[in-house]
Amino acid sequence: MFDPFAQDSGKTNDHLIWKSGTRKTVFHGPIFDVCTIDRASSDGRQSVFIEVESPNWVTVIPWFRDANGVPHFVMVEQFRHGSATITREFPAGVVEKGELPRNAALRELQEETGLAVQRLTELGNVSPNSAFMTNRSYFYLAERAEHVHSQALDANEQLEVLSVPVATVVEQMGTGIYDNGIMMIALGFFLREARKRPSLIATQKE
């Protein structure tokens, strides 16, 4: 009988891997494709699974201090068609074909906010939903920002730009207008960085 309270032994679990077989695209859409794939388990089971093939994503966390030394984020508000609600998020978007995630982050930041930054730090990347999605989501911290031009939004984009104290976002993320799960992941990466750099969340004079 297994022990659910046993410590992680560090051993590999290769027996959990399902071997892949035939893969077919069953739906081609403007923002993702749907595929089926045949897979077989190590104990002989076989089944057909669904995969959603989407471009990689980027999220940028623009950070600055106001004149009073209070840390702020630059965020955007927009209508989201999946939830049919207005959400408040960090600037984010899709990595275009052949584009590096870092370059996509800089591009999306400038398009949505008009900001250019002198310091861009990759905080990490994850699978946004490993159950059926094949893409990865990249997260960047943007510092030393300068407002260089107006927005350059896509045809169907409509958003407002605003600054919000870091403390407010930490307190409210995951509730109300802060309802995008990817932004919760972004904040988690930011807070891990803040453990190494406490000044990111501390109020202080420049």
**Hunting for tokens 């995951």 — which residue is that?**
174
Task: Evaluate whether 123 touches 43 at the Cβ level (below 8 Å).
Answer: no
Question: Which residues are paired to 78 by β-bridges?
Answer: 87, 159
pLDDT of residue 206: 54
pLDDT of residue 9: 81
pLDDT of residue 7: 86
0.85 exceeded by pTM:
yes
Q: What CA–CA distance (Å, rounded) separates 184 from 128?
A: 11
Q: Alpha carbon 9 to chain centroid distance?
A: 31
Residues of the chain below pLDDT 50: none
**Hunting for tokens 């992680």 — which residue is that?**
8
